[in-house]
Structure 1
């Protein structure tokens, strides 16, 4: 129920469930606005990247996060969190990047159970070439329509809604 304003009847023989807290009009407006962003914005950010650089948004974010990390190296588990992807999805992408010569993987010297993804010079050049296209989209679709107060509010709201696995430490 998208609007979540009507109350469904329980099926025959079913125990009535605890009454849900239905959304008020402003809660519904906030929720539908957020879900529209979540569902529509990624495609709008990805289309220019695909055209200009042949990268999906997930692939670009993967390269970008590694490029911004100290030594251009990042734990795969941290990278999965930063890209909002599963380790298996990320592993498949990083495997393709390895085949293209953009990323190398190796065990963490301090803990061999952890895998580190390291960006090669070729991978760094790839993300640097794609960055202007991505930045233009981010500015046009997200940042430029907002004033400074709206951007600060968006950052605060995003921080409150962000989830982070406990093994990765405190949120940034």
Structure 2
């Protein structure tokens, strides 16, 4: 090992077990919810999340770069998702009025109505695969744990700076 490089802090057996359970559990829950949504609506969880995020902001419009950051998607992945959604009339891309280099994504009225119609089934799936299995106390614990892994303070400041509030839209 060269000078300055330190031995990694390896996970102990309990940490390794917890890490693997996190990977398996999160993948299974997300796959199940995505499968339900796709089977019932033809939309992916990523497409649904785009619609939800847009439904939460004034004018149902958000700059593509901000939307990508909010969804933790690469810009190219979001562009492909939005292109598919545009083809079915759920969203439209428009030039930013205040910055012609930027592109906004807007949820159409048809997209908003589609979101409203499919939200109950999606929420039932989230309940079935996660919320009801954990129960209220563990669900609160999960939320607290996941909040440790995100920059909620930064997200709140960003939302306030852009005139947004916490979500009240169907999740």
> 1:163 Cα deviation (Å)?
6.0
Higher relative contact order (Cα pairs below 8 Å, separated by 6+ residues) = 2
Please list every run of 5 or more consecutive structure 2 residues that lacks an aligned counterpart in the other structure. 157-171
Q: Please name the residue that 1:11 is paired with.
A: none
d(CA) in 2 for partners of 1:18, 1:170: 31
> 1:53 Cα deviation (Å)?
0.5
> 1:38 Cα deviation (Å)?
3.1
> 1:15 Cα deviation (Å)?
6.2
Matches within 5 A, 1:19-168: 19-162=7-150
d(CA) in 2 for partners of 1:140, 1:39: 15
> 1:80 Cα deviation (Å)?
1.4
Report the RMSD for the aligned CA atoms in angstroms.
2.3
> 1:118 Cα deviation (Å)?
0.7
> 1:136 Cα deviation (Å)?
0.8
Pick closer, same or farther for the CA change 1:114–1:170 going to 2, 3 Å. Answer: farther
d(CA) in 2 for partners of 1:134, 1:66: 17
> 1:117 Cα deviation (Å)?
0.8
Displacement over 4 Å in runs of 4+: 14-17
> 1:139 Cα deviation (Å)?
0.7
TM-score (norm: length of structure 1): 0.78
Q: Please name the residue that 2:159 is paired with.
A: none
Q: Which has the higher helix share?
A: 2
User: How many equivalent residue pairs?
Assistant: 155
